[in-house]
Each structure stands twice: as structure tokens, then as C-alpha cells.
Structure 1
Amino acid sequence: MTLTCIAVDDEPLALGLVSAFIEKTPFLKLVGRYSSAVEALQGLLTQTVDVIFLDIQMPDLTGLELARVLERSNRGAHTTRIIFTTAFDQFALDGFRVDALDYLLKPFNYEEFLRAASKARQYFELVHRPEPAPFVISPAPPQPVEAADDYLFLKAEYQLVRVAHQDILYIEGLKDYVKVYRQSDPAKPLLSLTSLKVLEEKLPPKRFMRVHRSFIVALDQIDAVTRNSVQIGATTIPVSDQYKDAFGQFISRWL
């Protein structure tokens, strides 16, 4: 898969470097280079672009403002993704909020650029993955089929991460973010910009239960329970009054 790209930066040296990196990468195709976000916006009206390597601090229209314009615009089925390139790390959170794929902090080398570009390729390969062939019923006894809801995708660290339900220990809500604790790496939870309510609606209720306004637990990972808490490994998670009735029904099945 080849991704069409443009580079946007008001600094000529930085614009030249990013353009050279794009042309050096086999799966990227440079279709435009612009010294301002205004010029880039005009160019995007006449061509379809997969990835924009976008500086943030620019006159007239900043990279973040351009990203918000693209986020609000109706571009049909095609989605243009952004990789920010900037010398200021304080914009990282803003970049995450406008759904950027990655964030390259200047000065960056080709290895760092390639890592970000590879994330973009993985994203578009996932988006354009062909639909599976329709299932045809045959006279033979049906074989077990893996359920389509055995996993979910989380946007974490500027990429989509596939997380199997059976790998989840519990999920903690932190305002606009969640931390997903997993068996495979319990010391390093995934941090994702979403809400606990959104995840609660996506997760199967037979396997997960919300026990507190800040916690969802995997029922098959619970090691011990009391009237007011659950134990998962070395972690004690409180059960709030709002969820005690549903939790009590769950406990009754243990008895």
C-alpha cells in the first residue's frame, strides 16, 4: 500500500527535511509541500491525501487549527490523518485531542520518522482490510467460530491497539481518559482518550461489570469479593452504592 502525503511547515529547512524523508520512504508518495497551513488547506480541496506531516506553530493558521478544520469537514468515506511535527512538546495533548496519528518532536531523525510513518501504514491497512467472505451454511456440523466481539480497539499512543477481552483485568476512568490494565503487561496500562461510559457500552455485560463510577472489572479475573470491594491480584477495587444491587446479584452466584 502506498500512502499519498503532503508536508506543511513554514521553516524551509524543516519542510525540505520532511519532504526528503517522505520521498525516501518506499510506501509514501509526496504529492505536495506547503509553507503555510492556508496553502495546504487550499491544496486539500483539489486532491485526496492520506497523511499530512504538519507543523503546529505557523502564522495565519496554526497546525492545530487546520486539524480542527479537517476534523469538522465532511470528506466522505476517505479519512486524512495527521502526524504533527513540532519543536514544542507542550502541544502533545492537543495533538491527541484532534485525533493525530503521531507526534514527532523536532529535531527528529529518519528512524523516528519511519516509525511514525509505519503507524500510518498500519492504520490504513487496517481500515482497508477486505471484508471476510460470507459464511455459507453446509450440511456438516458447524465449527466453532471466534466471536467478533472478543476484542476491542483502543486509540492509545497515537495508534489503534487491539485488546482481547480475556486480557483485560480492569479499567479505571480518569475524567476524559481511561487506563486499561492487562494480564499481558499489568505494570503498564494502556492510556486512551475515551470515557468509561463508552467502553461500558462496548464490553459484553456477561464478562464485565461496572462496580464504581471510576472502575469496570473483568468478572472472570476477580480473585475475592466482599460486600464493598473486589480483589483482582494485589489490587482492591471499591464497589460504590450505585452499583451494589447489580454486584450483589453477581455475588449471589458465587454462594
Structure 2
Amino acid sequence: MVLKCVAIDDEPLALELMRNYIARFSFLQLLQTFEDAVSGAEYLRNNPIDLLFVDINMPDITGIDLVRSLVSKPMVIFTTAYKNFAFEGFELEAIDYLLKPIDVKRFGKAVEKAVDYYRYKTATAAESKDESLYVHSEYRMVKISLKDIEYIESMEDYIKIHLQFDKTVLTLMPLKRVLEKLPEDKFQRIHRSYIIPVNKIISIQNRKVKLPGIELPISDSYIDFARRWMKM
């Protein structure tokens, strides 16, 4: 597996560092680099790639605006000299953000995320939903093991994924969309606000599902699931 890459940064030294880092990874193939964001955007519109490294703060157009303008979007790793990232980048579902000066170890972690997500995207539907779920949280891609999910809670435009050991992940996504990413035989919606892992049900009684450490309501729309489960 080889990921075709492009790097765009208006700072020549930063761009040279990216060339050096990319060359250290045999699964990355650098096709082009650009100091000019407009030229880079034109190249991307005519040449499909897998992974884009792009600086956020550039004088002609920002990296965020560049990515937003692309019809066919590759995986994106943003680079920036600023700690405060623009919220607009969240909607672009970046793999990661790298803060300058970029450390090679941190760079390696970012490209490993890209590899994992590429494999997830290119797997068959059954394979891709078998073990992991990818969501965007805190401006980067987060990989969640399905076996760690205790339940998923809707919070208006966001969802909160409750994990083992009282950990949570908050992401901007409707409950319906996350349900589509989960294997149908392993997760069930029980309420407009909740999705649960079927294998963690302890009991169902009085229209409530008992899970480890919590009870959740079952709404009228999903009562048929409760009846089917009790007949198993």
C-alpha cells in the first residue's frame, strides 16, 4: 500500500522539512510540493491523491478554504504555527493537525492515522464496520474500538460516545449517521437519544434497558426490538 501525497506550504523551510519527513516513510509517495496555494489547488483539481499536507495560514488562500474548494477531497493533515485552530476545519474531517515546529515522531503518529483510516475506507462494508468506528473530535480523527462502546447519546447536533472506564468522545454528528456506520447486528437504536451495543444488555424491563452501570429508556418507536430481545 502506497499513499500518494502532496504538500503545500508558503514557507520554503517548512516545505523542505515535510519533504524530508515524507521520504522517511516507505508507504508515502510525494508527487508534488507547492509554495503557492493557488497552484496547489489547481493541481489537486486535476490529479487525484490520497493524502494532502497543507498549511492553514497562507497569504493567498487559507489551507481550510483550499480544502473546502475541492470537489474530490483527499485525506487531509493540516499544519499550522498557531495553537488555536479555526473551527471551520472541523467540517472538513481532517485526519490530524500538526503544530509547527513539527516533530518527526508526531508526524509519524499523524500518518499512521491516515494509513489506518485509508484501510478502513477501502475495506468492504462488512470489514469496515467489524471492529472500529472513526469520528472527528477535537479537530482530528479518532479511532474507537467497537468493543469499548458502552452506549451512544444524542446531544442535539452532537453525539457523546460513552466508553469503558468513564471515557467519552464528543463529535458533531447526528445519531442517524453514526448508526449507519455501525454493524446492524451489534448496535440498536432504542430511543431518539440513544444507541446501545446489543451484547451489553443485562435485562429489559418496564421499557428500560439495563446496561453495565446505567438504565436507559426505550421509546414507543423501538419497542419491537425489546420484544424480540426478550424472546431470544
Give the TM-score, by structure 2 length. Answer: 0.77
Residue 115 (structure 2) aligns with: 121
Q: How much has 1:110 moved relative to structure 2?
A: 0.5
Give the match's secondary structure for 1:91.
coil
Matched position secondary structure for 2:166: coil
1:55, distance to aligned residue in structure 2 (A): 0.7
Alpha-carbon distance in structure 2 between the residues aligned to 1:17 and 1:147: 36
**In structure 2, what is the Cα distance between the partners aligned to 1:122 and 1:108?**
21
| Identical-pair percentage | 35
- Larger strand share, 1 or 2: 2
Structure with the higher helix share, 1 or 2: 2
Q: Using structure 1 for the length normalisation, give the TM-score.
A: 0.72
One-letter amino acid of the structure 1 residue matched with residue 168 of structure 2: P
Q: Distance in 2 between matches of 1:173 and 1:66?
A: 32
Q: Would you say 1:171 and 2:152 are equivalent positions?
A: yes
Question: Which amino acid is 2:220 matched to?
Answer: K
- Structure 2 residue matching 1:39: 3-state secondary structure: helix
The one-letter code matched in structure 1 to 2:105 is E
User: Once the 2 structures are TM-superposed, how far is the Cα of residue 222 of structure 1 from its aligned partner?
Assistant: 2.9
> Structure 1: 5+ residue runs without aligned partners?
132-145
Instruction: Select 1:244's aligned residue among 212, 220, 228.
Output: 220
CA distance in structure 2 between the partners assigned to 1:9 and 1:151 by the alignment: 36
> In terms of Rg, which structure is larger?
1
Which of 76, 79, 104 pairs up with 1:82?
76
Separation (CA, whole Å) in 2 of partners of 1:7 and 1:252: 53
Indicate the SS of the match to 1:66.
helix
Cα separation, partners in 2 of 1:200 and 1:24, compared to 1, 3 Å: closer
Aligned length: 228
In structure 2, the gaps of 5 or more residues are none
| 1:3-33: CA deviation from partner (whole Å, max 9, x where unpaired) | 2222211223222222221223332222222
Residue 126 of structure 1 and its aligned partner are, at CA, apart by 4.3
Paired residue type of 1:52: L
Q: Does 1:181 align with 2:162?
A: yes
Deviation, structure 1 residue 208: 4.1
Deviation at 1:64, TM superposition (A): 0.6
2: CA distance, partners of 1:115 / 1:61? 27
Residue 210 of structure 1 corresponds to 189
Q: 1:175/1:6 Cα in 2 relative to 1: closer, same or farther (>3 Å)?
A: same
Moved more, 60-69 or 119-128: 119-128
- Give the distance between the partners of 2:196 and 2:176, measured in 1 at CA: 13
d(CA) in 2 for partners of 1:117 and 1:206?
32
Q: Secondary structure at the match of 2:223?
A: helix
| 3-state secondary structure, aligned to 2:38 | helix
